[in-house]
Structure 1
């Protein structure tokens, strides 16, 4: 057989192998926490931005950022969505984990919802009461920061554990006088109690950075898929900015509830894919807090070493304003 035909045959076989590899490529599995914080993901899926950028994405639902992180750590997901605190508390125990960017930031994502019939209407009324929260999450950190802001300590309240699945009933059945919980569960608590509910004012004691977490191995092995994933989220961010009503409708479809609720939840979020120095500063403060509360063992790991900016910087350098890296 002439060498030219052999060469063509080789290229044809190689093409078939590549096509087969693409056809059988594993999808990028993303553990998604339900809530307004995940709107860019909902928009990207609804508008088929993932498909447009050439990445097959499968959502793995989870009830909290902590659950999402555990799915990623177990290998059930390539990417986890979670508040930055989840990684802060694991800076020493999970050095293979990295933060790729933040999807949104909000000082209103977590709320303190109380029962009026428990005698709580103002911040000072919380002293001596039972407060439930999901331990080891940003809600616990919020509550600690809230108490400090109001001149109180953990000994001034009875802090008890609840779960995302049980938090509404914990408040409704009087197992707690108040709950510190994220949206949309905070709004569900208010809806369940009706006029008996009071949202206690919470000054900007904590700004949550809802983050995209992955592993160093995934960044190496699946860099192309992750890059295309980020490209789709940049498109989603732009859509939310120029088509807020259509984005609101997508959020409402995901969460249920009224148009007014979806509008309010969106207004409480700043949807921008970025990496600010503020997230590193917050994570360092959280590590100090966790050590003080004996939530983690002493570790010399600086949270800044868990931030991997290269993928986002390559796509949108202006979105990365880290001073440490």
Structure 2
């Protein structure tokens, strides 16, 4: 009996030691979001997080996921430079700014080709047309994804930038700035600002629904260093997001809130306005970076280069890497997973 107890204890110690060794070997995948702590991860990545797909796929690949939240894409770029994150969801302007400055990131996925930007105006501001913006306090978080819309909108309508009192303000601070009367207008993410308009904080003035070509893109970036060393983690990550995309396409009503970062939580009527169910809008959420996404990215880069925001002209094809998506799709299909084309 004593001998059997010793054998059992030895077996148990081997199992415990094995489990501890496996845990010690588990690597960490650090994912950043440019949407801030309040909005956290949105789009299909948010769905993958809520359904546990990220933990599941990365766990199978031997990784634990850690989430980091940043107020904007500028902070995401700083985190990449510091080596604090391995991948991130980010808006197009900061993403291409990082590429322009060669900070060591690569574009591995497209979250959305048409993320709308809105303009809100303060109640009683007297702004009736674009030229009325001149002489007013206009908020925009410079260097974020609203800037592409901002530059195109002002140029198209002949608004003199030098006559705007531009206030560089993070998106989360736009509503309180309207409430205090310190700003007259703001450019920013449509899901966030239209929710503020629905709350009566300010009036809706414009959205890029009128000019889809001025809307922004949502990107997935990875550190080149991490891509080289831990490609399988990025493949696992994109497998989780592909699965989440299929969930969104099949059950859009269920996932509107998560997809918009919770922005339409109290105003579900905004779902139809932000994400048109009849035009296949959700089907644009294909992770593979296509010609449309590259063309739009090049137009953005060229505009900001022309305006002197970037010092060097670059071909954005040098920023693109579709191999991660292609491998993720290949592995899912081999497992019998059906992917909507």
User: Normalising to structure 2: TM-score of the pair?
Assistant: 0.77
- Judge conservation of contact 1:69–1:82 (CA < 8 Å) in 2: no
Deviations 1:114-157 (A, max 9, x none): 12411113334334433110011121221111112223342353
Structure 2 counterpart SS, 1:121: coil
Q: Tell me, yes or no, if structure 1 residue 130 matches structure 2 residue 134.
A: no
CA displacement at 1:253 relative to structure 2: 8.2
> Structure 2 CA distance, aligned partners of 1:158 and 1:105?
30
Q: 1:258 to 1:275 in 2, by over 3 A?
A: same
Report what 1:247 is aligned to. 255
CA displacement at 1:252 relative to structure 2: 7.5
Report what 1:6 is aligned to. none
Report what 1:159 is aligned to. 166
Q: Tell me, yes or no, if structure 1 residue 77 matches structure 2 residue 85.
A: yes
Please, which runs of 5 or more residues in structure 2 have no aligned partner?
1-13, 331-341
Please, which runs of 5 or more residues in structure 1 have no aligned partner?
1-12, 318-325
- Judge conservation of contact 2:30–2:86 (CA < 8 Å) in 1: yes
- Judge conservation of contact 1:36–1:184 (CA < 8 Å) in 2: no
> Structure 2 CA distance, aligned partners of 1:198 and 1:45?
31
Report what 2:312 is aligned to. 299
> Structure 2 CA distance, aligned partners of 1:253 and 1:96?
28
Counterpart mapping for 1:205-220 below 5 A: 205-220=213-228
The match for 1:285 among 299, 302, 326 is: 299
CA displacement at 1:98 relative to structure 2: 0.4
CA displacement at 1:238 relative to structure 2: 0.2
Structure 2 counterpart SS, 1:291: helix
> Structure 2 CA distance, aligned partners of 1:198 and 1:228?
40
Report what 2:44 is aligned to. 40
Q: 1:310 to 1:152 in 2, by over 3 A?
A: same
Q: 1:169 to 1:253 in 2, by over 3 A?
A: closer
Q: Tell me, yes or no, if structure 1 residue 222 matches structure 2 residue 222.
A: no
Q: Tell me, yes or no, if structure 1 residue 197 matches structure 2 residue 211.
A: no
> Structure 1 CA distance, aligned partners of 2:214 and 2:260?
26
User: Normalising to structure 1: TM-score of the pair?
Assistant: 0.81
Deviations 1:216-274 (A, max 9, x none): 11111111111011001000000000011221354588454333345544447643322
Aligned residues: 300
The match for 1:89 among 76, 97, 113 is: 97
> Structure 1 CA distance, aligned partners of 2:74 and 2:162?
25
Q: 1:83 to 1:118 in 2, by over 3 A?
A: same
Deviations 1:36-56 (A, max 9, x none): 982211211111112332253
> Structure 2 CA distance, aligned partners of 1:48 and 1:25?
18
Report what 1:260 is aligned to. 269
- Judge conservation of contact 2:135–2:164 (CA < 8 Å) in 1: yes
> Structure 2 CA distance, aligned partners of 1:277 and 1:57?
31
Q: Tell me, yes or no, if structure 1 residue 100 matches structure 2 residue 108.
A: yes
Report what 2:290 is aligned to. 276
